[in-house]
A = this chain, B = another copy of it.
């Protein structure tokens, strides 16, 4: 792309105007500098992104053993009903399935799920399941 651009510019300059070698030189230098700067920026960008994605997911330390700790239920203010939903969620059931098993509405399950996520400070159910296991909220 840049090669073609450069040649085009030079060609038109030469044909339609008059020969200005220093202009061509300037343009070429700028093009080269920008290329280098761009490549450097690209490399840096990807490196930064890498670092972010590498440091974050590595943080959670692997727990040796999961010790059920019911006290966390009280501490986190997880209500009995919410815990019930959490257990079924951890079993891989969908909200719809949970609703049917508990004879509740899908909206109710969503509400419970949202509250659970809030209390566990997570965004997704996969994270909730993990965190719940870490905290000993599940079998």
Chain A positions near chain B (C-beta within 8 angstroms) = 1-2, 5-6, 9, 23, 26-27, 29-47, 49, 53, 57, 60, 62, 65, 88-94, 100-101, 103, 122-127, 129-130, 139
A126 contacts across to B, CB distance below 8 A: 89-90, 92, 125-126, 129
How many copies of this chain sit in the oligomeric assembly?
A: 2
- Which applies to chain A's interface (DSSP): helix, strand, loop or mixed? helix
Contact between A62 and B65, CB atoms less than 8 A apart: yes
Q: Name the residue on B nearest A123 (C-beta).
A: B94
Q: A30-B30, A92-B124 are in contact. List 12 more A-B contacts (CB 8 A).
A: A5-B30, A38-B38, A38-B41, A39-B39, A42-B44, A46-B103, A49-B100, A92-B126, A94-B123, A126-B126, A126-B129, A129-B129
A88 contacts across to B, CB distance below 8 A: 57
Asked, given contacts A42-B42, A62-B139, A125-B126, whether A9 binds B36 with beta carbons under 8 Å apart, the answer is: no
A139 to B57, CA, bound (A): 14
Chain B nearest CB: distance from A4 CB in Å?
Answer: 10
Q: Can you identify 30 A-B contacts, CB atoms within 8 angstroms?
A: A1-B33, A1-B37, A2-B30, A5-B33, A6-B30, A9-B26, A9-B30, A27-B30, A30-B30, A30-B34, A31-B34, A34-B34, A34-B35, A34-B38, A35-B41, A37-B38, A38-B40, A38-B41, A39-B41, A39-B45, A40-B42, A42-B43, A49-B100, A49-B103, A57-B93, A57-B101, A60-B91, A62-B65, A92-B127, A125-B126
